[in-house]
Structure formats: C-alpha cells, structure tokens
Amino acid sequence: MRRLHVAALLLAACSANDDIPAPLVSTIVPDHGPPGAVVAIQGAYFCQRPDTGNDDPTCDTQGTVDFGEVPGTATVWDDTEIMVEIPSAAVGANDIVVIAAGRTSNAVAFTTD
C-alpha cells in the first residue's frame, strides 16, 4: 500500500512539459557578425510544447535569446529555427543561449564583431 501512495505522489508531481527536452541549439549561422545583423539559430524544442502531430512549426509563445547577458530581438521564432538581431551591447565573445518556458538551452560560442 505504501508503494502505491509513493507512485501516486510521483505521478502527481509531473507537469505537462516534463517529457519535452530543454531547447537545443545545434548551429548558429553565421557564427559571428556585427550588431544589428540577423543570425539564424537552428535546433529543436524552441516552442517547448508537446508533439501533437501538428506540423505547424510556429510557437504560441516565445522566449529569449541571450548573447552573454544581453537579450537579442527575435524576428522569427518557431520550433526549429529562430532569427534574431545581434544586440549592440554584446560586442566581443559571448555564449548564446535560448530560454523558452523557463528552460535554458546549451550554450554556443558566438563573436559579435
């Protein structure tokens, strides 16, 4: 009986997004650029929504793309690609991370010229 209660508590603690991996950045094209330029961030799970079989890649909500500590301005955001403008305050070497639904991606090196 005690095991049944523990299992029920564990299942109740799960949320709808527990089965969705954190955002994953695979490539940034180009890997450097001047402030104001737009880069394409490609990867997966940027929408942070369950797979329902719907082929529409657009997201209901967006997150942020940080160049170090400075957020960029996203112009396109879908589940596998984000187009983002490089912020002027991010000159130098930075790690880019995508934050969606409170979950942070892997960091990828980027240089703002």
Domain ranges of the chain: 20-112
The answer, yes or no, to whether residue 1 has pLDDT greater than 70, is: no
CB-count exposure of residue 38 (10 Å: 0-12, 13-18, 19+):
middle
Pick the closest to residue 63 from 100, 27, 29 (CA basis).
100
Per-residue pLDDT reduced to its tens digit, 54-80: 667 778 778 999 999 999 999 999 999
pLDDT at 57: 73
The answer, yes or no, to whether residue 13 has pLDDT greater than 70, is: no
What pTM was computed for the model?
A: 0.81
In percent, the amount of the chain with pLDDT more than 90 equals: 67
The domain defined by 20-112 carries CATH number 2.40.160.60: no
